[in-house]
Amino acid sequence: MLDPTPLDTQLAAQTEDRLRVLVVGAGMAGLTVAQLLRHNGLHPVLVDRMPRMEHPGYMLALMPLVDQVFIDLGIRERYREESTPLRSYRFRAHRGKPLRTDSLGELLSVYGDYNGIGRGELVHVLTANGCPITYGTTVGSAQPDGAGGSRVEFVDRDGAVVGTGEFDLVIGADGMHSRMRDLLSSTPAQRLDTGWAGWVAWADDLGSADLGEELWGDGFFLGVYPVKDRLGVFLGGPIPDLRVGPSAFVDDVRERLDEVGPRLSAALDAVTDDPAPCFWHLEDVRSERWVLPGGVLIGDAAAGFLPTAGIGAGMAMEAAWMLARMLSHADRESLTAVLAEWERIEKPRVESAQSNSRMLAKLMFRRGRAVAWLRETVMRLLSVRAALGPIVKLVAARPDPDAAAERVVRAG
Ligand SMILES: Cc1cc2nc3c(=O)[nH]c(=O)nc-3n(C[C@H](O)[C@H](O)[C@H](O)COP(=O)(O)OP(=O)(O)OC[C@H]3O[C@@H](n4cnc5c(N)ncnc54)[C@H](O)[C@@H]3O)c2cc1C
């Protein structure tokens, strides 16, 4: 459970800590790192600019990369209860006909769970052991103190100063549009804008609770992804075409489809029935450096993901887990070396998954019937294993954070 806590109380709790850590942003990366550090005996200060957590939520498919987070926190059973196993993936042709169904379960189960979960449920799971947080608060300025740490001024949502603090490590986990990235780094991040966007909505469970489906249309994209007892729906298209609004766009999509069956039909209804479906711009961002003079970046703040490979939250949580495990070996003296090693190991892994997502976006977000036919010819031959090849490699071979941290600490 998220426990709203005054900033002063959080600051007072960490005065005796081996490392005084500030986590800015309580999304998947921020919650993961804060909870793991607490589990290791520290009292990181956690702030989020939102007045409370009322994110409308969307569906997340979590790769086995994240299992160790739940195992370390002792909440794996809770995670399994709140999520649903994803066993198959169906790819449909641009007019709706099923082209192939692959067994994802078989591909990934050797490495662990591959489950669908709502974002809100994931927050509940990660905070099951309790989680102090100060809402409505962010960082106004962070000045390196010359000894590896930072002096931070906290501000409220109106920009009024609400406190100050000194930290050995500031972790910017404030998502795709990170303000911490602008505060900490002088180099502009690299951005990719697909020119597409889409609506997220929820449909009732319509059977086939372990089957994800995607329809890569001619100028639109429709995906349905099960979570526990519900189906997450994403309908996307080129931004100028979406300006007509969800109802008119759905009508247009229906025109372009042959019979798609009750499941996808209900998914389209869900987009029009929702009075205010969540709207997402399909863009990403890549920061040149993760370890910066005043702190580090993590999750979407470091490398923001397109949702095309369903791996952004997975990589954010893996990077947070790696960082927390490596920090359990660090003190103020070894911190700089441990952080450098974390970036050296983890950044290429995350960027490889991000490149895989970008490659899929190039295939998915297309217009034109000839392109659609060509793509379907390729997809008949290309399995999910091949499409997600680089990600499967990451899942299969995760580095050992304890050995990596011990190596640099020993080297002094
Ligand atoms: C529609 C959709 C579907 C997706 N599907 C998948 C999927 O199936 N599988 C998967 O692995 N990933 C998926 N992703 C990607 C995944 O959601 C993100 O990669 C992941 O949430 C990144 O976590 P994060 O903690 O870095 O950022 P976020 O989860 O965005 O959290 C950032 C937090 O920082 C807070 N914040 C923002 N600015 C400030 C500030 N200035 N100060 C303080 N706090 C601030 C925000 O309130 C928020 O709580 C999907 C994304 C979308 C949009």
Rg of the chain over CA atoms, in angstroms?
22
Tally the C-alpha atoms within 13 A of residue 243's C-alpha that lie toward its C-beta: 4
pLDDT reported for residue 55: 64
Residue 251 C-alpha from the chain's centroid: 31
Residue 53 in tokens:
């957590």
Which of these, 201, 205, 270, lies nearest to 231 by C-alpha position? 205
Give 22's DSSP letter: E
pLDDT reported for residue 111: 92
Q: Which residues line ligand 1 (CB under 6 A)?
A: 24-30, 47-50, 58, 60-62, 138, 173-175, 179, 200, 234, 280, 299-301, 305, 307, 310-314, 316
Degrees (nearest 5) of the Cα angle 219, 276, 122?
Answer: 90
Q: What is the DSSP string of 338-369?
A: HHHHHHHHHHHHHHHHHHHHHHHHHHHS---H
Architecture of domain 2-86+108-191+285-364+383-411: 3-Layer(bba) Sandwich (3.50)
For the entire predicted model, the pTM comes to 0.96
pLDDT reported for residue 391: 87
Question: What are the start-end ranges of the E strands in 228-288?
Answer: 230-238, 278-286
Q: Residues with Cβ < 8 Å from 60, sequence gap 6 or more?
A: 116, 117, 118, 119, 122, 227, 310, 313
Residue 26 alpha carbon to ligand 1 centre in Å: 9
Task: Compute the distance between CA of residue 36 and CA of residue 320 in angstroms, rounded to an integer.
Answer: 9
Q: Residues with Cβ < 8 Å from 161, sequence gap 6 or more?
A: 140, 153, 154, 155
258 strand-pairing partners: none
pLDDT reported for residue 148: 79
How far are the Cα atoms of 58, 157, 221, 402 from residue 94, in angstroms, in the given order?
24, 45, 9, 47
The preferred substitution site among 45, 50, 52, 60 for testing ligand 1, maximizing ligand atoms within 8 Å of CB, is 60
With H, G, I as helix, E, B as strand and everything else as coil, classify residue 1: coil
pLDDT reported for residue 399: 94
Residue 304 alpha carbon to ligand 1 centre in Å: 8
Give 188's DSSP letter: P
Task: Compute the distance between CA of residue 252 and CA of residue 272 in angstroms, rounded to an integer.
Answer: 12
pLDDT reported for residue 285: 98
Torsion, Cα 223 226 78 172, to 10 degrees, reads: 10
Residue 2 alpha carbon to ligand 1 centre in Å: 17
Task: Render each residue's pLDDT in the chain as its tens digit; 412 residues.
Answer: 999 999 999 999 999 999 999 999 999 999 999 999 999 999 999 999 999 877 668 999 999 999 999 999 999 999 999 999 999 999 999 999 999 999 887 788 889 999 999 999 999 999 999 999 999 999 999 999 887 789 999 999 999 999 999 999 999 999 999 999 999 998 999 999 999 999 999 999 778 899 999 999 999 999 999 999 999 999 999 999 999 999 999 999 999 999 789 999 999 999 999 998 999 999 999 999 999 998 999 999 999 999 999 999 999 999 999 999 999 999 999 999 999 999 999 999 999 999 999 999 998 898 888 888 888 888 787 777 777 788 888 998 999 999 999 999 998 7
The preferred substitution site among 271, 283, 298, 305 for testing ligand 1, maximizing ligand atoms within 8 Å of CB, is 305
Q: Which residue has the tokens 């580090």?
A: 296
Task: Compute the distance between CA of residue 20 and CA of residue 253 in angstroms, rounded to an integer.
Answer: 53
pLDDT reported for residue 376: 87
Neighbours of 169 (CB within 10 A): 23
Residue 313 alpha carbon to ligand 1 centre in Å: 7
Closest ligand 1 atom number to CA of residue 198: 1
**Residue of minimum CA distance from atom 37 in ligand 1:** 174
Residue 377 alpha carbon to ligand 1 centre in Å: 34
pLDDT reported for residue 324: 98
pLDDT reported for residue 56: 61
Residue 25 alpha carbon to ligand 1 centre in Å: 9
Q: Helices H, strands E: what count in the chain?
A: 16, 21
